[in-house]
Amino acid sequence: MTQPELTYAIIIEPLSPSDGGGFLARVPELPGCYTDGDTPEAALASARSAILEWIEEARRLGREPPPPRSYALTG
């Protein structure tokens, strides 16, 4: 079975110094699912944990999380 945290897109963006610096990681498909970290790698690791927690809480509330969408990379 595929790990859910690996199937949702995670967007990582730098935070401005006025916002505390570091990096913001957000999961657009899961409303309110975002976190941060000092480095992009730390933000990504934190986002993976946040996804699992988001899914767990949704199920606890009797809601199924939305299925991940497919994303294609274009260059």
Instruction: Report how far residue 11's alpha carbon sits from residue 17's, in angstroms, rounded to the nearest whole number.
Output: 19
Instruction: Report how far residue 25's alpha carbon sits from residue 10's, in angstroms, rounded to the nearest whole number.
Output: 6
Residue 42 lies in a domain: yes
Mean pLDDT, 10 residues at a time, the chain of 75 residues: 65 95 96 96 96 95 89 54
- What is residue 11's predicted lDDT score, i.e. its pLDDT? 95
Residue 18 lies in a domain: yes
- What is residue 1's predicted lDDT score, i.e. its pLDDT? 41
- What is residue 70's predicted lDDT score, i.e. its pLDDT? 66
Domain that holds residue 15: 4-60
- What is residue 2's predicted lDDT score, i.e. its pLDDT? 47
- What is residue 7's predicted lDDT score, i.e. its pLDDT? 84
Residue 70 lies in a domain: no
Domain containing residue 30: CATH number: 3.30.160.250
Residue 17 lies in a domain: yes
Q: Which residues, including other chains, have CB under 8 Å from residue 52's CB and lie 6 or more apart?
A: 4, 5
Residue 15 lies in a domain: yes
Bridge partners for 66 per DSSP: none
What is the number of domains present in the chain? 1
Residue 66 lies in a domain: no
